[in-house]
Amino acid sequence: MRKKLAVLFFLILIAFSVLTARMVMIIRADGEKYKKQVISQLSYHSRTIPSKRGDILDAKGTKLAYSEKVYNIILDAKIMLSEKEYAEPTIAAAQTLLGIDGSKIRERLASHPQSSYYVLEKQKTYEEVKAFQELLENTDENKNIQGIWLEAEYKRRYPNNTMACDAIGFTTSDNQGLYGLEEYYNHVLNGTSGREYGYLNGESNLERTTISAVDGNSIVTTIDANIQAIVEKYLKKFDDQYRNNFEERGGSNNTGCIIMEVDTGEILAMASYPVFDLNNPKDVANLIGRPMVDEKGRIKQEKEYITAASYAALPSDELKSQQFNALWRNFCINDTYEPGSVSKPFTVAGALDTGSITGDEIYTCNGYLMVGGERIACHTTWGDGPLTIGQSVERSCNVAMMYINEAMGIQPFLDYQRIFNFGLKTNIDLAGESRTALLVYNQDTMKPVDLATNSFGQGFNVTMIQMIAGFCSLINGGNYYEPHMVSKIISPSGATVENIEPRLLKQTVSASTSEKIIEYCNQVITGEKGTGKTARPAGYMIGGKTGTAETLPRDNGEYVVSFMGYAPADDPQIAIYVVVDRANVKYQDDAKFATRIVRNILTEVLPYLGIFMTEELTEEEKAELEALQLEIMSPPVPESNPQEGSEEEQGTSQESPQSGTEGQDSSQGSTQSGTEGQDSSQGSTQSGTEGQGSSQGVTQQTGYSEAWRDFPIDPETGYAKDPATGILIDPETGDTIGNSGSATPAGLGSPGGNYHTEDDDNPF
């Protein structure tokens, strides 16, 4: 056995010796050939060729966002030190042509001599690097300029800075969209990067292969930059007027506006205030005066407002980031709130469409109604007396709405809420739309008192985009269009890739019901006691509905006020919705904060759209328009902010902000008390009505009075004041102002707790 093993070992040794000898012979004879074959398969050099992100354009082609090529200056220490004659000429050129301190380069060479990639300067413009680039290209005369090269990339630019910031969104440093259109259309706007490879061929010569970058497509939005600018001008004007007015904070927690085409669902303008600079979204200055939010992004109940010092003192970067997240949220689609009386046309429309009412009913309002043992008040303490359906909408009567919903019943009311898309997403093409399925009632959770308070917009939450999309269907014959922000996608060459046409989703109400709603909403402007008269622009007749909603907890004196309108009154073409979330005034529950913004905006927007005047101008209106024209031609220098509001606002109405919530999940206190004036709450008592019973525990009341019309005007507030109780009354509408007339029992709230939600598991 030992002999056999020895023989086997000897044979193996001989075989290895033969193989080794053969390998040596191959290397000597053909080694260079095989070396070149191996080297030719190895990557020698490669670089990424960046793609250009597509532009965002307004409806007329104005650039709202574009990408500019910029250059990073790269140091390759290994190359620069590979030859002794490279370093000094290259450093001198970098100092002279690029403005880079030579000592910085030398320090890097000394500390990292083997480094092949180090960024010396970032995102320099072409003009800043042009001379050095030309030097590099002239290789014959400057062959010793080695080790510094330019790396191209793209930087996102927003030429209008803050314009449409909420709707547009912005991008991260790696070109990914955040918020708004940038995020929603990220896959459309982003292209595909290319690559350039360098390698050695079989002759050991350097070869290059280039895979070209594919630039991203551009999107054409429905936004009209001119209309957007008008909207933002007046939102800022409101904030300037009321900033630090009653408290040390902004003019409101949020002021939002949407303008939409009635018959297409196209958004002409979408804005909220405060704003931020898209080119510098992390500017702390934009946070000053905003409500402080907690770790979950909800407004703190302690009513703390951000100052430079309080922001700097925040204990964590995460908490600081939450303040910016709250700023960047799009109030028009992200935040939820109780809609208040702007929902009353929806209540009436559902009842008309189901045949629950005919439109000929008369209701008597004496200031409140008892429902299920709860006292639910109207916004007028003394009541409005006998009212037709049109007058009920005109004067924003809670009592009449409660009777209408009683006639309609729980299930039909809930059915129409879904038909109008409350509780559902609109699927607008913007990132971050809130889901509100948990913020409306269902058959299992709604009780008679909830049916009563839901009738005037209290107890359920909505978003601005839900409200205006549904409202457009009420005034265009019942056609519900999906709201959208983009009309076209175009290629880098300008060719149309896709046209995005208006999308008709459903019929909400009949054409005849739609005509009735227009008639009633027109009365809000034209009626003797219409709550929206101050929204009418000079020379135009419009229609609409006011809203005031008390936030949670009830009786906190904080309100969300709003106006939803359309123009022209006889042929609605555009709809406008303005929401003011807790104006910075003592008495927030006055819808004129919203109506006056609407009036200012429409005064400029309607002529711009080519919508002709429908009314004769008074001498006062002519003077007003002439003054406006002069202001547009030569804008005045802004004056300091008033401490107690302007004379106009104080003398006519110390208007109050609404409740919605900035970054606050729905209304952390954003339960509105639905009514124009004070849209009472879930405990308001209805007043008697002709032909209406009390099947749901409704108790009729008596005692209607207009005694308030004789009350003296309080010089401090501009409101009528009851000498006996001190209650303040809006002399134009009869609305009770301030907490003195709270209509909502403190224990009543909404099904979802009035919190904004973005529950990703929610099927809606």
Q: Locate all alpha helices (DSSP H) within 280-409, ordered by sequence.
A: 308-312, 317-328, 331-334, 344-354, 389-394, 398-408
- Per-residue pLDDT tens digits for 537-576: 999 999 999 999 988 887 888 999 999 999 999 999 999 9
CA gap 184, 189 in Å, rounded: 10
CA gap 165, 577 in Å, rounded: 18
CB atoms within 10 A of CB 501: 10
For residue 16, what are the contacts with CB-CB under 8 A and spacing of at least 6?
Answer: none
Coil, helix or strand for 504?
strand
CB atoms within 10 A of CB 488: 18
Q: Write out the two tokens for 556.
A: 């906190």
Q: Write out the two tokens for 489.
A: 């996608």
Q: Write out the two tokens for 414.
A: 């809930």
| Axis crossing angle, helix 511-526 with helix 464-475, rounded to the nearest 10 | 110
Residue 738 identity: G
Q: Write out the two tokens for 258.
A: 């949407």
Q: Locate all alpha helices (DSSP H) within 410-566, ordered by sequence.
A: 410-419, 448-454, 464-475, 511-526
Give the gyration radius of the chain's Cα atoms. 34
Coil, helix or strand for 3?
helix
Task: Enumerate domains of the chain plus CATH numbers.
Answer: 48-221 (3.90.1310.10), 278-328 (no CATH)
DSSP, res 293: B
Alpha carbon 287 to chain centroid, angstroms: 16
Give the containing element (helix H, strand E) for 236: helix 225-242
CA gap 155, 172 in Å, rounded: 10
Structure confidence at residue 594 (pLDDT)? 97
Global pTM reads 0.81
CA gap 461, 442 in Å, rounded: 13
Q: In what order do the strands lie in the sheet with 720-721?
A: 720-721, 728-729, 736-737
Low-confidence ranges of the chain (pLDDT < 50): 40-43, 637-697, 699-703, 739-742, 746-747, 752-764
Could you tell me if 613 and 540 are in contact, meaning their C-beta atoms sit under 8 angstroms apart?
A: yes
Q: Write out the two tokens for 31.
A: 């080694």
Structure confidence at residue 313 (pLDDT)? 95
Alpha carbon 132 to chain centroid, angstroms: 43
Separation in Å, CA 172 to CA 55, 76, 154, 323: 16, 27, 12, 18
Structure confidence at residue 397 (pLDDT)? 95
Could you tell me if 481 and 502 are in contact, meaning their C-beta atoms sit under 8 angstroms apart?
A: yes
Separation in Å, CA 213 to CA 70, 182, 185, 195, 493: 16, 20, 19, 7, 14
For residue 288, what are the contacts with CB-CB under 8 A and spacing of at least 6?
Answer: 306, 307, 308, 311
For residue 762, what are the contacts with CB-CB under 8 A and spacing of at least 6?
Answer: 435, 437, 438
Separation in Å, CA 512 to CA 479, 515, 572: 12, 5, 15
Phi, psi of 360 (to 5 degrees): -105, 5
Q: Which of 605, 524, 584 is nearest to 233 (CA)?
A: 605
The residues with which 656 forms a beta bridge, in sequence order, are: 589
Structure confidence at residue 602 (pLDDT)? 97
Structure confidence at residue 751 (pLDDT)? 65
